[in-house]
Structure 1
């Protein structure tokens, strides 16, 4: 009796069966019987994987973009490692003839894991922000599950004993997952076309990446230090060190610029101030805000001050972290972050006794305790466990910066009174905008309080002597500041 010829297998039917087997493997169900092995079946799975990656990249970038052929190498990087891992597992089980079946099964399984990863990448930034410290766990959970599912699948395909299945777990981890993880983030297959705004942003950061910065910065710091004039004996004077820490937002640069001008007008610090700023627009014009630059600046200020009479006002504005690290950052440079203990050590090493320190940042209350002392006034824009508000790129001031410097200090020369007014103003604004209260903090040493009170009483005479004209009274310097219409400015 003559047998009827077997109908040819449909490539699409084989692809569907292999995808179903991959899903079963992902769920740790029996998957091997459903696999359709073969070179064509494997190629179909890899082409589908590339198509899915392209689709997700297109969804992220939008239709206005271009195809990146250079990205193909990264997308196919896993292939030799996949073959190596399955070959090692097949040899361990003594089933080298089933190698291609194992490769097809692994390709089908990891398509589903790739889908899961791409779906996670599409989640809004707000969702990832709410995860907090769990972000890393959530992102790498599919890889951990894939490792287990791969060992189960290969053990089934090669009919391996339980002990050897544990070996397969190690093989997949070392020969497949580790090399592909070390590759890191891959270039997308489809990227958005660069707009005029993108070009402007690239140009904005060009100076920060330039070689000229390396050679220019030491000169800028030397010049800034050389401009500091020594204090006059017998006349208590105020010196200023202002720090703009975070380079990606202009609000911090604007604040230190305005504070420098305000203090020159109101407190006679012209010629006795140093401003350090991290901002791509000023890297070739002004010294960077680094711990090393702060150390050199404080040492120079300590040498020019009359240490038994003069007072240093240190103003720091930037982002802050929950572990109370003050952000000093400028892409692409890796800069040391500033802690309260490091700042205190720098001030002590410089021999600066009389200090006023204002830290405007989230969680800046963590600076108050470590820096407090009889000769120190410390103020912060927020409690140690609270965020401050207003650090938007477009703003002229942060909430606390506006309330303290631009409003309160234009009405009173007393730092403690200005703090009380600013704290109340910030609280009122936060309540009106439905924000969590930042609760600015203050610690006033007895010795510095008496010294500042005496300086406030003598400031009109001091300014008159410095400027060679009429004294500037608090009311003379008051100006009308326009209300901030933005929700965060």
Structure 2
């Protein structure tokens, strides 16, 4: 054992000279199986220690580090075997392994020390300088062992850098790199879902009956002899502010310009509103439509139903506010809700991907349906930082803010969306519009009625008649 340790010490000394480009010979190394095993164990221990130090102050051990170390060793053995075949030396594999791992513990310690100095030292170490020094030492480790083993065949000196880099370093680094120690998320790092985890789903759902009742109770009935606009504005997806913002703006616009004040309700899934505004759920939507259906003069009044959320290829409107167990809405469900509510005149606007798939199931002679996309196309603008989706901005903010015809507003909005998508090199969303035969005439009457009412009652001069 003393002999093995003495040989190990000698190999490490020779490995240091090899790595520092000092003069050394192949005969300076003790090449045998015992030394190969001892050097591998030492390299493994130094590797574990280095990972531990670089993951302070709270490192966690990972057994997958052994898989990474084993994969790296396998790649190295194959490279050494191939080099031995090329230089035609049967003992090349063991010789190269001993030479490399005589330097490997020193390289691990050097890289760890450089990293720790850069992290903790008050001296300003350049990242580039540290990286350059490390790779200079690695280059010596890749080239010099082959030079020593292949002598006097100096023409094979290039083999070390090429084959070790391609067959050992690159695969081990890029395809199966595991550390023995890692850092878990620190407690002080912000958890983006912390507020959702803290929600009391049972309590929220229990409160819905009271919240919804308060909002529905504030609605006023339609006035006989004139067309009143009722609106339900639905933001189904809780995790992006854009749907909430779009629906709030739309309700405010319909209240102010289309005479829906006192006849409108918003249903929103969002952390900021769930305690005061009814949830955007299928249950609340059905209840709202039923209540409005009883308040409306069904022969005269018009419902504007504005739905904003994500949509799926199988034409499901996303209704999502985890951890609440909410159901998505499909076209058949929506048709049943409207039919059960007895609402005759319907303007349905759906701002969602694939929303064109809602048209066929919902179309009637008394319905107008505007969708942000064709049944097989996506729409755009569903980003957390946006105030509107592309469709909502083009239709509501840019058109309905200045005019009262839904048909003209949609046509102009569709043109502007097409230009924007072309400029941004996006696949066209192809917004869709359906107008039932009876709805054609009703839209003309509605446009005239709300234009006259707004121009008579508005005196703020902010928006045109």
* Short-chain TM bin: 0.5 to 0.7
SS at match of 2:393: helix
Q: Does 1:454 align with 2:445?
A: yes
The answer as to 2:270 corresponding to 1:295 is no
1:400 aligns with 2:391: yes
Which residue of 230, 250, 264 maps to 1:239? Answer: 230
Contact 2:201 2:323 in 1 (8 A): no
Give yes or no for the alignment of 1:410 onto 2:396. no
The whole-number CA distance in structure 1 between the counterparts of 2:234 and 2:284 is: 10
| Counterpart pick for 2:258 among 248, 267, 273 | 267
Deviation at 1:214, TM superposition (A): 3.3
Cα distance between partner residues in 2 of 1:234 and 1:252: 35
Which of 379, 396, 402 is 1:388 aligned to?
379
Q: Is the 8 A contact 2:357 2:375 kept in 1?
A: yes
Pairwise CA distance, 1:337:
0.6
Give, in angstroms, the shift of residue 334 of structure 1: 2.3
Instruction: Kindly indicate whether residue 206 of structure 2 is the aligned counterpart of residue 220 of structure 1.
Output: no
How far apart are residue 209 of structure 1 and its match?
3.8
Following superposition, the deviation at residue 278 of structure 1 comes to: 0.6
Alignment of 1:65-464 (within 5 A): 66-67=58-59, 190-195=183-188, 198=190, 201-202=192-193, 204-205=195-196, 208-209=199-200, 212-463=203-454
Distance 1:448 1:304 in 2: 21
Q: Where in structure 2 are the equivalents of 1:14-93 lying within 5 Å?
A: 66-67=58-59
Structure 2, gaps ≥5 residues long: 5-40, 72-180
Q: Following TM superposition, by how much is the alpha carbon of 1:460 offset from its aligned partner in structure 2, in angstroms?
A: 3.4
Q: Distance in 1 between matches of 2:419 and 2:461?
A: 24
Q: Distance in 1 between matches of 2:302 and 2:331?
A: 19
Superposition deviation, residue 266 in structure 1: 0.5
Q: How far apart are the structure 1 equivalents of 2:183 and 2:436? A: 60
CA positional deviation for 1:271: 0.6
After superposition, the Cα gap between the structure-2 partners of 1:284 and 1:235, relative to the gap in structure 1 and judged at 3 Å, is same
Structure 1 position 461, deviation (Å): 3.5
Conservation of the 8 A alpha-carbon contact between 2:348 and 2:367: yes
Q: Which residue is equivalent to 1:23?
A: none
Distance 1:433 1:292 in 2: 39
210 and 452 in structure 1: CA distance in 2 versus 1, 3 angstrom threshold: same
1:285/1:64 CA distance change after superposition, 3 Å = farther
Number of aligned positions between the proteins: 320
Q: Secondary structure at the match of 2:409?
A: helix
Conserved in 1, the CA contact under 8 Å of 2:381 and 2:390?
yes
Helix, strand or coil: the match of 2:425?
coil
**Post-superposition offset of 1:68:** 5.9
TM-score (norm 1): 0.58
Residue 313 of structure 1 aligns to a residue in which SS? strand
Q: CA contact under 8 A between 1:208 and 1:330: conserved in structure 2?
A: no
TM-score relative to the length of structure 2: 0.61
3-state SS in 2 of match to 1:205: helix
After superposition, give the CA deviation of every residue in 1:250-288 in whole Å (9 maximum; x if it has no partner). 000001110111011110101101110111111111110
Say whether the 8 Å CA contact 1:229–1:304 is kept in structure 2: yes
Kindly indicate whether the alpha-carbon contact (under 8 Å) linking 2:197 and 2:323 is maintained by their aligned counterparts in 1: no
| Structure 1 pair 334–215 and aligned structure 2 pair: CA distance change class (3 A) | closer
Contact 1:207/1:284 (CA < 8 Å) preserved in 2? no
Do the aligned partners of residues 474 and 419 (structure 1) sit closer, same or farther apart at CA in structure 2, a change above 3 Å counting? Answer: farther
Query: Is the contact between residue 216 and residue 291 of structure 2 (CA under 8 Å) also seen in structure 1?
Result: yes
CA contact under 8 A between 1:314 and 1:355: conserved in structure 2?
yes
RMSD across aligned C-alpha pairs, in angstroms?
3.8
Alpha-carbon distance between aligned partners in 2 of 1:64 and 1:398, rounded to the nearest angstrom: 45
| 8 Å CA contact retained: 1:207, 1:281 | no
User: What is the SS of the residue equivalent to 1:239?
Assistant: strand
